[in-house]
Each structure stands twice: as C-alpha cells, then as structure tokens.
Amino acid sequence: MRPFGYIDGGLAAGPVRLAAIAAEVGTPAYVYSADAIEAAYREFEAALAPARICYAMKANGNLAVLRLLAGLGAGADVVSEGELRRALAAGIAPEKIVFSGVGKTDAEIETALRSGILQINVESASEVRSLSRIAAGLDRTASAALRINPDVDAGTLDQISTGRKTDKFGVAWDEAPALFREAAALPGLSMEGIAVHIGSQLGDLEPYRRAFRRVAGLVRTLRAGGAHIRRLDLGGGFGIRYRDETPLPLEGYARVVEEEVGGLGCEIVVEPGRRLVGPAGVLLARVVAVKETPERRFVIVDAGMNDLVRPMMYGAWHDILPLEAPAAGAETRPADVVGPVCETTDRFAEQRPLPPLVAGDLVAFCEAGAYGAAMASTYNGRPLVPEVLVRGSRFDVVRARPGFEESLALERVPDWLARPGCGG
C-alpha cells in the first residue's frame, strides 16, 4: 500500500496534506515518509533476520534519511568516499559499512581503511593488488570480499543489469579461485567473503537462485583450497511497483537464500536501496501552463529532468497524481507531461491519461524516493530542489533549496577575466 493517499480530497502523507508542504516549501520539492521507510526496513528485518542489512545509499543519500535508518540498526553500502563520509556523519557505525564499486581510487581505499569499515568489495585483480599495497603501507589488514560476476541475466533493463559477463562489475566467477590464491600470498589482506549483485529492480526470484547457486559452488571450491570464507554479500536489486510490477516477495527471497547458501555457515549481508526509500517518496510539482496544439496536449510543470531524470534516462514510469482529487466521473484526456528544461527529452510522460489540469494545480510524481534527488543536477542553472521528511503529523525541511547567490558563490572568475575589456 502506498504511504500517500487522499484524505478529504487532498493527497497526504499520513495526516499531513502535501498541498500544505508545497505552500510552505514551494515546488518542485521531494517529500519522504519516515514512517514508510521504517515500515520497509522492519519488513526486511522480519523476513531476513539474522542477515546484516546494509542500505545501498546511492538510492537516496539524504543525511536525515541515513540517520533514520542508522537509528533502526541499518548499515550502509557505499560506492564512493563521499558516500562513506555521509554514512559516518549520519551516525552509521563504520563496522556496519561495506564499500563497493568498480573504480575506487587509492585515496578512497585509504580513507576506508582508516575508518575501520566492515568490508571492501574488490572487483578486479588490479584492485586486489592495490588494496594489499595500501593496507600494508598503513600497517593494517583489510577485510575484503571478492565480488564475482556470475554471468546471470537478471532480466531487467540493460542499463541496470550488473551480473552478465559483458557488464563492467566483478570478477568472472570461474577466475575467482586463481585470484583468491594470489590474494592469500599478499600482505595486508584478509579475503573473507564473496560478494555478488546481478542488477536492480528485480521481480523474479529465479535469477537470484542461479547466482546464489554459483556463489555456493565457488565457496565450496575455495574452502577445499584452504580459503576461509565467512561472509556472503548478496547485494540487492529488490524490485518495487512503479506501474504494474509485482514487488519481489521477501519471504520467497529468504527461502532462496536459505536453500542455496544457508548451509554454508556464512554471515549474510543484503543491500536494499530502492525498496526501502522508493515508495516512500514523491516529487511535488506545480502546473505552469497547459498548452494545446492540434497534435498534443502538453501539461508543463515546474519540475524538470534535472530534478527527476529516471523517465528520460530509462523510460521509467512514475504515476502522476493531482494533489486535489479529481471530481467523481472527471474525464481523462491524454497529455504529455513536460518540464521547463531546454531539451526535447525533458518529458515525464507521453500521452498519459490525466484528469483536467490548469495552471497552478499541484501534482505528485509517485515512487520518487529512490534515484530522484540523488541523481539531480543543476542543469539550465536550476537549483537543486528541497527535500522534506514527514513523521506522523509533522514535517521538516531536511535539505533546503539553495539560493541563486549561494550557487554563484561557489564559482570564481579569475583576475584576468574580471578586468573590463579582458577576453584572454
């Protein structure tokens, strides 16, 4: 069930009317339901205990969201030094943090080691050697897992598939034993785990089963060769409903985990991201104008592709709901919902059946809590939008909209351009 619904004709998060938030904060604006995030986290706890839950914070790295999850006991899966520092600043304990990613720099690896995080997931032979060199130089032992590429097609979009042999992630599963043998002879390394992640927005359990079965076979091979494997990082990818998808059943996922790797005696790590925050967020926007042409009806809103890029990048669907419930029996007509960005691709929906809308009306783009604000930009000189967190009957701005002067202050004009008449 969505955390946003109509109360007395107005779309609300619990008892808080979204129109009231728009009136105070302005539009565009992201709104997240803390209660919905907590409920989603508790669902994972109930289904997967005693697995360690490390939130994939690339989905939404807002500090307040991270602090909320930290308070619930979550760890974090980070993919950059910036995310690592955010996780630590939000109060996530370093021993609950996993550092993933295919392109870690030496500086990022050093920061991770100095922070004392749980595990670094290495994704290539060169990274294994770099981690050894850096750890030995710091007189530390790095706890590491080898991310394998199981060559399993998750059946999702090409852009978010990560476990095929043509994808950039991980080490080919059949090359892992040789790399483990090499790593065992290197200083500063404790290769304790196997990591795998096959893609995002999965709804089918079978790809997980194939990948985990390959992981289990690899663990047995490595142990037979003397390796000590005590942790399995099984990644994430748990799908949600955007349009007509059936969300991945967590109870079924838990059964697959138990059947395929449960007998190995390893600690299990899972990395949900979208599933925790996606349904808990909406993007509020205001209709600027409705433009009628002989071919199309364009509903032009004040949110743009710089605020929510998923429809333009992936062809993704987001339900669009008016904040004021349409009158009973209101006729719907097809419309293209577009933003103000100077790009033809700045289109959220094409020929979407919508009720009557006029300038000034408010709408919400649903399931926007993941990969919305996190992927936003300032293209066309548009400031990043504010983020609001709702808990019960109150709401708070958890990231303010920066002013234009604030944005300009980040840039400098060199002296040789600041003098009148100087062009180079």
CB 32 within 8 A of CB 390: yes
What does 222-283 look like in DSSP terms, one character per residue?
HHHTT----EEE----B---SSSPPPPPHHHHHHHHHHHHGGG--EEEE---HHHHSTTEEE
Residue 285: which H helix or E strand, with range? strand 281-292
Contact 29, 386 (CB under 8 A): yes
Q: In sequence order, which residues have a C-beta less than 8 Å from that of residue 209 and are 6 or more positions away?
A: 256, 259, 260
Tell me how many degrees the CA angle 12-17-18 measures, rounded to the nearest 5: 80
Half-sphere exposure of 80 (CA within 13 A, CB side): 6
Q: Sign of torsion, CA 275 281 286 288?
A: negative
Cβ atoms of 346 and 310 closer than 8 Å: no
Torsion sign, CA atoms 12, 18, 21, 25: positive
State the distance between the two ends of the chain, measured CA to CA, in whole angstroms: 60
Q: Which distant-in-sequence residues (6+ apart) come within 8 Å of 37 by Cβ?
A: 65, 68, 69, 276, 277, 280, 369
Whose tokens are 């194939």? That residue is 210
The verdict on whether 342 is a catalytic residue reads yes
Instruction: Check 54, 266, 342, 422 and give the catalytic one.
Output: 342
What single-letter amino acid sits at 413?
Answer: V
3-state secondary structure 311-362: HHHHCCCCCEEECECCCCCCCCEEEEEECCCCCCCCEEEEEEEECCCCCCCE
Beta pairing class for 347-354 and 333-338:
antiparallel
Q: Which residues are catalytic?
A: 342
